[in-house]
């Protein structure tokens, strides 16, 4: 490899494939996605014994759940949305893949990640519009893209519904990590607005995001869509933070590598 070091990095990449950015094993072929196929196939669907039938939040036992199977947030109407689906837990290989996609800017990952997301949607559901969770323009400018928008576009074909940028972010919100549920709701309240010229009246809207934590961001967007006449609002995330494990919420790697951590 000593002679090869003299080549420009881009040329070197064409000749020698990268190592897998998830497991570190050498890749056997050159691809736009620097992840080996076993790692792309590894993320497992979320399985929780006790969860709210409406927002899907997992619980350690069924004691926080009401007799109808809903959690108190949903009973009190604070969830804002009608249903929430997520493929897997925001941990392990799935978390690495999301970081690679979002912060490593490996945009071609949108397609395989959207394939996982589509698996989380029950077959009987049909949507009229797919709405990506908006990023504030300054953050979008920094990153160069909105990860939720790329996932939404990759989902459009699979779910047979058009993508609409129906919501925009009016102001930048502080990172949600470390805030309580009510602080999260306060943090995002008034942060969103409907885009002009788009009607959601009588539509079943699917809000799409990469990661969902408490659902406070989704709740704020769902409430906005409902006020504009949306018939039903469902939420689809690639991963959801399992708040039963507090370590995931306060992991320093989230803060250092992202600056913004988990937003939803
Ligand atoms: Zn791998
Ligand atoms: Zn719930």
Residue 115 inside a domain? The answer is: yes
| Chain centre distance of CA 79 | 17
Asked if 121 and 182 sit in the same domain, the reply is: yes
pTM across the whole model: 0.82
Please give the distance, rounded to the nearest whole angstrom, from the Cα atom of residue 117 to the centre of ligand 2. 20
Q: What residue spans of the chain are helical by DSSP H?
A: 9-15, 37-41, 72-75, 92-102, 110-119, 137-143, 147-159, 181-188, 216-227, 246-249, 252-258
pLDDT 10s digits, 20-45: 999 999 888 778 899 998 999 888 88
Same domain assignment for residues 236 and 173? yes
Residue 113 sits in the same domain as residue 211 = yes
Domain count, the chain: 2
Q: Which of 12-16, 53-57, 173-177 has the lowest mean pLDDT?
A: 12-16
Q: How many Å lie between the centroid of ligand 1 and the Cα of residue 168?
A: 36
Tell me the CATH number at 215.
3.40.50.2020
159 within a domain of the structure (yes/no): yes
- DSSP character for 19? B
**Boundaries of domain holding 232:** 78-258
What spacing in Å lies between the alpha carbon of 26 and ligand 1's midpoint? 8
Q: Any idea which ligand is nearest the CA of 50?
A: 2
208 touches 148 (CB < 8 A)? yes
Q: Which ligand is nearest to the CA of 35?
A: 1
What is the CA(114)–ligand 2 centre distance, in A? 24
């Amino acid at each position: 490899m000593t002679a090869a070091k003299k080549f420009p990095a881009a040329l070197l990449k064409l000749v020698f494939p990268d190592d897998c950015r998830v497991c570190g094993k050498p890749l056997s072929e050159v691809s736009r996605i620097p992840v080996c196929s076993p790692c792309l196939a590894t993320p497992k669907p979320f399985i929780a014994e006790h969860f709210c039938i409406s927002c899907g939040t997992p619980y350690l036992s069924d004691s926080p759940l009401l007799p109808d199977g809903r959690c108190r947030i949903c009973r009190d109407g604070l969830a804002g949305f009608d249903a929430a689906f997520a493929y897997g837990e925001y941990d392990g290989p799935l978390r690495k893949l999301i970081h690679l996609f979002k912060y490593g800017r490996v945009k071609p990952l949108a397609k395989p990640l959207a394939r996982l997301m589509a698996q989380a949607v029950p077959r009987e559901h049909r949507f009229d519009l797919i709405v990506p969770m908006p990023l504030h323009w300054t953050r979008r400018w920094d990153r160069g893209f909105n990860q939720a928008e790329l996932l939404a576009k990759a989902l459009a074909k699979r779910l047979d519904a058009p993508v609409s940028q129906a919501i925009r972010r009016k102001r930048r919100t502080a990172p949600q990590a470390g805030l309580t549920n009510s602080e999260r709701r306060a943090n995002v309240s008034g942060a969103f607005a409907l885009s002009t010229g788009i009607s959601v009246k009588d539509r079943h809207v699917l809000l799409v995001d990469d990661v969902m934590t408490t659902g406070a961001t989704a709740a704020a967007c769902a409430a906005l869509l409902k006020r504009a006449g949306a018939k039903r609002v469902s939420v689809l995330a690639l991963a959801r933070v399992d708040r039963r494990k507090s370590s995931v919420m306060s992991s320093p790697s989230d803060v250092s590598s992202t600056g913004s951590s988990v937003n939803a």
